[in-house]
Structure 1
Amino acid sequence: MRTLFTFLCLISGLMAGSAMAQEGNLPTTPEAEPKPEPEFAMAWGPRVESEIFEYSTGGETYQGYLARNANDEEPRPAVLVVHEWWGLDDYARARADQLAALGFVALAVDMYGGGQVATHPDKAGEFSSQVMQDWPAARARLEAAMTQLREHPAVADTGMAAIGYCFGGSVVMNMALSGMPIEAAISFHGGPTQAVSTPGEFSGAVQIHNGGADSLVKREDLTAMARTLEAQGADVDVINYPQALHGFTNPGADALAEEFDLPIGYNAAADASSWQAALLLLDRALNQ
């Protein structure tokens, strides 16, 4: 019996081994190659490019700074940026870059000619006074810039707007007061000096951002400018920011105040709030 049992076990073991050998000889199905993960569709943000933008009038050449989003294939509305009394400096260029990143073609204009920049308040006051005392010449410079800007292929034929800081704020208020063809004029801590002798009709919007603690702007002068603009047909908003000094949008204002003993200063809250209000107006006025 033990011999028979052993024999049967040997037979079953040989059969199992044969079956395993046959299994090993069978063709195997190759493993499926892993499918590549689909690429995630990523959008490109703005790619701001800038260039020197020259224009001429009255025998003088002016060197503006044009900024636009090079990734934008469609023409976009244009915004003029008018600098502080220092001239077309890095601050004005930075604001133009910001507007370009947000979908506008921004031209920081040169109001002094040849790209001149003042490094002392005395010279800055001299430059700015010369402009404001001869508004016809100032208007001619702005018109030359606007005329050439309209011919740029990146600029849409949907109207323009102008924003300005300090001296530039005074300029854009007078642009509206003289009836220049802009859809909106936005002033940041601009002096309400009327340089226009004969105001013209203006049906656009004017937004005036003023420091509540600005000792360089008299409240009665600001009110008079707003009322004069309204009388010419403008839709005027004056926004005062408590505790904000003159120059409240410029992060470099504190250093300038210390260096030259000027009553100016940066205010982050007023800067952010005024910028947001300005963008909403630009969107409404230019993007319809």
Structure 2
Amino acid sequence: MSDLTEASVEYSHDGTRLVGHLVARADGAKRPGVLLIHDAFGVSDPMKATARRIATLGYTVLLADMWGDGRIPKGEEEIGPLIGAMANDRATWTGRVDAAHRQLLAQEQVTEGPVVAVGYCFGGSSALEYVRVGGTVAGAVSFHGGLDLVGTDWSAANKDASVLILTGAEDPMSPPQVVFELEKAMTTAGVRWEVTSYGHTKHAFTNPQADKSGNPDVMAYDVRADRRSWESFRLFLEELA
């Protein structure tokens, strides 16, 4: 889009080179920052398109690189080990989110005000995990995140953050008992939260390509949930940023 500027942004965490993607309005004005965390497929073209879509709402967006070197996995044989490595080393996992957060705040097109972290699938898990360990964002949004990846001890959580979880009621990566336990943990920690569960909806419901996955019992696109979840996200941003 002609009213947007885009650029790769290099930064690092613990010696790992990370390559994010910054999208801002072309006028150069300072705007609230949104930290976008990619799904399992990295800093991909679809995630860059999402960054543009958020930027058109009036925000400066940094699409974080969680895999390093801008890596884009080609399939499940790569994705599983990458996610597993993060789940087994949560200091690195949340450290990479924090490095991206700090990089976003360093951009001249970002105001000094609050930042909202938003993620899809693995990125949704990442946004929630960052709040759980005390990440200083104003809010976190999870679109069909794997809630079974998120830690259960929220005692160190950022109690000033608001959380919005948008999930499918039939998502095997976010079963009802896991959702219930997460709600209880956030309540106990004093975190303000909202969970919207879309009936008859599976994993990856915002992704039109989900129907081509060959795994219809796990993931499927849902146009209604896609539309309604985006509106919930947009209102959440307006309230916080």
Coarse TM-score class (shorter-chain normalised): over 0.9
* 1:262 Cα offset (Å): 6.5
Whether 1:275 and 2:230 are equivalent positions in the alignment is yes
C-alpha RMSD of matched pairs (Å): 1.8
| Separation in structure 2 between the aligned mates of residue 194 and residue 213 of structure 1, nearest angstrom | 18
Among 128, 132, 142, the residue aligned to 2:83: 128
Matching residue of 2:25: 69
Query: Which residue of 32, 40, 54 corresponds with 2:10?
Result: 54
- Could you say if the C-alpha distance between residues 198 and 222 of structure 1 is closer, same or farther in structure 2, counting changes exceeding 3 Å? closer
- Deviating beyond 6 angstroms after TM superposition, the runs of 4 or more aligned structure 1 residues are none
- TM-score, reference length from structure 1: 0.79
Match of 1:221 among 164, 178, 189: 178
Which residue pairs with 1:157 in the alignment? Answer: 112
Q: Partners in 2 of 1:139 and 1:210 — Cα distance?
A: 22
CA positional deviation for 1:185: 0.4
> 1:211 corresponds to which letter in structure 2?
G
2:194 matched residue in structure 1: 237
2:133 — aligned with what?
Answer: 178
Q: 1:203 corresponds to which residue?
A: 160
Match status 1:251 vs 2:233: no
Deviation at 1:230, TM superposition (A): 2.1
In the alignment, is residue 111 of structure 1 matched against residue 66 of structure 2? yes
Secondary structure at 2:20's aligned position in 1?
Answer: strand
Q: Tell me, yes or no, if structure 1 residue 144 matches structure 2 residue 74.
A: no
Cα displacement (A) at 1:248: 0.1
Counterpart residue type for residue 57 of structure 2? L
Give CA-to-partner distance per residue, 1:101-149, whole Å, 9 cap, x none: 1110111111010111111112111111111221111222122222222
1:90, distance to aligned residue in structure 2 (A)? 1.7
Unaligned runs of 5+ in 1: 1-44
2:114 counterpart SS class: strand
1:266 aligns with 2:233: no
Question: 2:83 is matched by which residue type in structure 1?
Answer: S
CA distance in 2, matches of 1:215, 1:197: 22
Structure 1 letter corresponding to 2:150: Q
* 1:274 partner letter: S
Q: Which moved more, 1:225-234 or 1:203-212?
A: 225-234
1:199-224 Cα offsets, whole Å, 9 max, x none, are 41422210111112223321101111
CA gap of 1:46–1:99, structure 2 versus 1, over 3 A, is: farther
- Aligned partners of 2:20, 2:107: CA distance in 1, in Å? 14
Distance 1:155 1:204, change over 3 A: same
- Could you tell me how far apart the structure 2 residues matched to 1:198 and 1:99 are? 29
State whether residues 87 and 124 of structure 1, in contact with CA within 8 Å, keep that contact through their aligned partners in structure 2: no
Q: Which of structures 1 and 2 has the bigger CA Rg?
A: 1
- Quote the Cα distance in structure 2 between the aligned partners of 1:46 and 1:237: 35
Unaligned 5+ residue runs, structure 2? none
TM-score by length of 2: 0.93
Equivalent-residue separation in structure 1 for 2:152 and 2:11 (angstroms): 23
SS of match in other structure, 1:108: strand
Higher relative contact order at CA 8 Å, sep ≥6: structure 1 or structure 2? 2
Letter in 1 for 2:171: D
Q: SS of the counterpart of 1:76?
A: coil
**Alpha-carbon contact 2:139-2:240 (below 8 Å) kept:** yes
Task: Give the equivalent residue in structure 2 for 1:14.
Answer: none
2:112 alignment partner, SS class: strand
Q: Is the 8 A contact 2:169 2:176 kept in 1?
A: no
- In structure 2, the partner of 1:194 is 150
1:168 and 2:168 aligned: no
Q: How many residues align?
A: 239
| DSSP-derived class of the 2:127 partner | helix
